[in-house]
Amino acid sequence: MYFLTGWPRRLLCPLRSEEEPFYIQPSSQRFYFAVLSETQLSIWFSRPSVLIVSYIESAKAAAQFGFYQKAEWKPDDSMIAVATAKGYILLFDVLGGGDDKYLYEPVYPKGSPRVKVTPGYKEEQCAPALSLEMKKPVDLEAPITSLQSLQEDLLVCTADGYLHVLHWDGLGSNGRKAICLTTIPFSLDLQSARGGPSLDLEGVHIRCMEYCVTLDGFAVVLSDGRLGFITPLSNIITADQLQGVWAADVTDGTCVAVNNKYRLMAFGCASGSVLVYMIDTTTGSMQLSHKLELTPKHYPDTYNKTGPVKLICWSPDYSVAMVTWECGGLSLWSVFGAHLICTLGEDFAYRSDGTKKDPIKISSMSWGAEGYHLWVIPNKQERRKQEEQQEEKEGEEVEMVPPPQSSQQPGILQFHFIKSALTVNPCTSNQEQVLLHGEDRLYLTCGDPTQVHNTSDTHPHTHLHPHDSSPLHNPPNPESSLSQGLSTLLGHKHWHVVQIHSTYLESNWPIRFAAINTEGQCMAVAGRRGLAHYSLFTRKWKLFGNITQEQNMTVTGGLAWWKDFVVVACYNFIDQQEQLRLYQRSSNLDNAFASVTKLQSDTLLLNVFRDMVILFRADCSICLYSIERRNDSPNPSASVELLQEVSMSRYIPHPALVVSVTLTSVRTETGITLKAPQQACMAESIMLNLAGQLIMLHRDRSGPQVREKETPANNKKQLPFCPPVVLAQCVENVWTTCRSNRKKRHLLEALWLSCGEAGMKVWLPLFPRDHRKPHSFLSRRIMLPFHINIYPLAVLFEDALVLGATNETVLYDGLQGSSEPLEALFPFCTVERTSQIYLHHILRQLLVRNLGEQALMLAQSCASLPYFPHVMELMVHVVLEEEATSREPIPDPLLPTVAKFITEFPLFLQTIVHCARKTEYALWNYLFAAVGNPKDLFEGCLMARDLDTAASYLIILQNMEVPAVSRQHATLLFNTALEEGKWDLCRHMIRFLKAIGSGEMDTPPPTPTTQEPSSSGGFEFFRNRSISLSQSADSITTGKFNLQKTFSMPTGPSAKGRDVECAENMYIDLMLWRHARHLLEQVRLRDLGCFSAQLGFELIGWLCRERNRVARVDDFVLALKRLHKDFLWPFPVIPVGSLSSPLKNGRCRTVLSTRLLKSQSADSLLNSDMDTAPPQAAPSNHTWLDGIGERTKDMDTASSAHSNQHSPQTHDAFLSLLTNKVEEYSIGSATDLTETSSVVDGDWTMVDENSSTLSLSQAELEHISMELANKGPHKSQVQLRYLLHVFMEAGCLEWCVVIGLILRDANVIKQVISFLDSPEVPTETVQSVRNGLLAVDTWASTDCLGYKPFLNLIQPHLQQLMDSAAEQVQPEAFQPVSQISKLGGSEGLGGAALPRPEDSRGAAAPLGLALPSIEPAGGFPRPPSEDCPPEQTEEQGDEEGNYDCTLS
What pLDDT does 397 receive? Answer: 41
Mean pLDDT calculated for residue range 537-544: 94
State the first-to-last Cα distance of the chain, in angstroms, to the nearest integer.
73
User: Three-state SS for 179?
Assistant: strand
pTM: 0.75
Least confident of 874-888, 1082-1096, 1175-1189: 1175-1189
- Asked if 157 and 143 count as a contact pair (C-beta separation under 8 A), the reply is no
Decide if pLDDT at 1127 tops 60. yes
Q: Which one is predicted more confidently, 13 or 590?
A: 590
- In our burial notation (b when 16+ CB lie closer than 10 A, e otherwise), range 61-71 reads ebeebbbbbbb
Q: How confident is the model at residue 248 (pLDDT cuts 50, 70, 90)?
A: confident
Strand pairing category for 186-187 and 242-246: parallel
Judge residue 642's burial from the number of C-beta atoms within 10 Å of its C-beta, 0-12 exposed, 13-18 middle, 19 or more buried: middle
pLDDT (0 to 100) of residue 778:
62
In this structure, are residues 1271 and 1277 in contact, taking their beta carbons and an 8 Å threshold?
A: yes
Whether the pLDDT of residue 640 is over 50: the answer is yes
Q: What pLDDT shows up at residue 39? A: 93
Question: What stretches of 144-213 adopt beta strand conformation (E)?
Answer: 144-150, 153-158, 162-167, 176-180, 186-187, 206-212
Interacting residues of 1068 by C-beta distance below 8 A, sequence separation 6+: 990, 993, 994, 1047, 1048
Region of poorest pLDDT, from 497-511, 586-600, 802-816, 890-904: 802-816
Q: What is the pLDDT of residue 300?
A: 81
What are 771-821's pLDDT values in tens digits? 666 565 567 889 999 999 999 999 988 888 999 999 999 887 655 555 566
| CA atoms within 13 A of residue 1099's CA, in its CB half-sphere | 32
Highest mean pLDDT among 165-174, 1165-1174, 1226-1235, 1321-1330: 1321-1330
- Predicted confidence (pLDDT) per residue in 609-625, tens digit: 989 999 999 999 999 99
C-alpha span between 49 and 1053 (Å, rounded): 78
The pLDDT tens digits for 819-871 are 566 666 788 999 999 999 999 999 999 999 999 999 999 999 999 999 999 99
pLDDT at 1339 exceeding the cut of 80: yes
Bridge partners of residue 829, in order along the sequence = 6, 809
Which DSSP string corresponds to 1089-1155? HHHHHHHT--HHHHHHHTTTTTT--S-HHHHHHHHHHHTTPPPP---SS-SS-S---HHHHHHHHHH
- Residue 1197, pLDDT > 80, answer no
Band the pLDDT of 1374: cuts 50, 70, 90. very low
In contact, 307 and 327? CB cutoff 8 Å: yes
pLDDT tier, 1230 (very low <50, low <70, confident <90, very high otherwise): very low
Of the candidates 691, 752, 831, the one whose C-alpha atom is nearest the C-alpha of residue 340 is 831
What is the average per-residue pLDDT within 1282-1307? 88
Q: Is 189 helix (H, G, I), strand (E, B) or coil?
A: coil
For residue 1009, pLDDT over 50 is answered with no
Give the pLDDT confidence score for residue 1255 in this predicted structure: 59
Higher pLDDT: 305 or 75? It is 75
Helix %, strand %, coil % of the chain (to 5): 35, 25, 40
DSSP 919: S
Widest Cα–Cα separation across the chain:
146
Give residue 1245's pLDDT. 33
In the sheet with 274-279, reading across from the earlier edge strand, the strands are 253-259, 264-269, 274-279, 286-292
Return the bridge partners of 607, or none. Answer: 614
Contacts of 154 (CB under 8 A, 6+ apart): 72, 74, 81, 89, 147, 148, 165, 166, 167, 168
Sorting pLDDT into bands at 50, 70 and 90, what band is 471? very low
Q: Rounded to the nearest 10 degrees, how much is the dihedral formed by the CA atoms of 281, 282, 288, 292?
A: -20
Please enumerate in sequence order all residues whose Cβ is within 8 A of that of 1043, keeping only pairs 6 or more positions apart, or say none. 1026
Give 670's DSSP letter.
G
In this predicted model, what pLDDT tens digit does every residue of 206-215 receive, in sequence order? 999 999 999 9
**Stretch 169-189: mean pLDDT:** 77
On whether the CB atoms of residues 212 and 200 are closer than 8 A, the answer is no
Residue 343 dihedral angles phi and psi, to the nearest 5°: -95, 15
Please indicate whether residue 485 or residue 147 has the higher confidence score (pLDDT): 147
Q: What percent of the chain has pLDDT over 90?
A: 40
pLDDT of 47: 85
d(CA 164, CA 1067): 98
Residue 382 has pLDDT above 80, yes or no: no
Predicted pLDDT at 825: 76
Pairwise CA distance, residues 1226 & 1157, whole Å? 12
Burial of 1134 per CB tally in 10 Å (0-12, 13-18, 19+): middle
User: What is the Cα–Cα distance from 560 to 522, expressed in whole angstroms?
Assistant: 11
How far is residue 678's CA from residue 665's CA, in Å, rounded to a whole number?
10
pLDDT in the model for residue 118: 46
- Which of 1026, 1020, 960, 951 minimizes the C-alpha distance to 988? 951
* CB proximity list for 1044: less than 8 A, separation 6 or greater: 1026, 1027, 1036, 1098
pLDDT surpassing 70 at residue 1191: no
Q: Strand, helix or coil at 95?
A: strand
Q: What is the mean pLDDT of the chain?
A: 76
DSSP 105-135: -----TT-GGGS--TTHHHHHS-B-EEEEE-
Amino acid at 442: L
Provide the pLDDT confidence category of residue 1421 given band limits of 50, 70 and 90.
very low
Residue 102 has pLDDT above 90, yes or no: no
Using pLDDT thresholds of 50, 70 and 90, give the confidence band for residue 539.
very high
For the chain, how many residues are written? 1448
Q: With cut-offs at 50, 70 and 90, classify the pLDDT of residue 579.
A: very high
Cis geometry, peptide bond prior to residue 48 (ω within 30 degrees of 0): yes
pLDDT of 1251 over the 70 cut: no
**Alpha carbons 1113 and 1331: distance in angstroms, whole number:** 11
208 vs 104: which has the higher pLDDT: 208
- Scored b (16 or more CB within 10 A) or e, 643-674 reads bbebebeeebbbbbbbbbbbbbbbbbeeebee
Torsion, Cα of 220, 222, 225, 226 (10° steps): -70
pLDDT reading at 73 higher than 90: yes
* Poorest-pLDDT segment among 63-67, 787-791, 1036-1040: 1036-1040
Angle, CA of 1406, 1409 and 1410, to the nearest 5° = 95
* pLDDT number for residue 533: 97
Q: What's the confidence (pLDDT) of residue 1194?
A: 42
Nearest-angstrom CA–CA distance, 18 and 406: 13
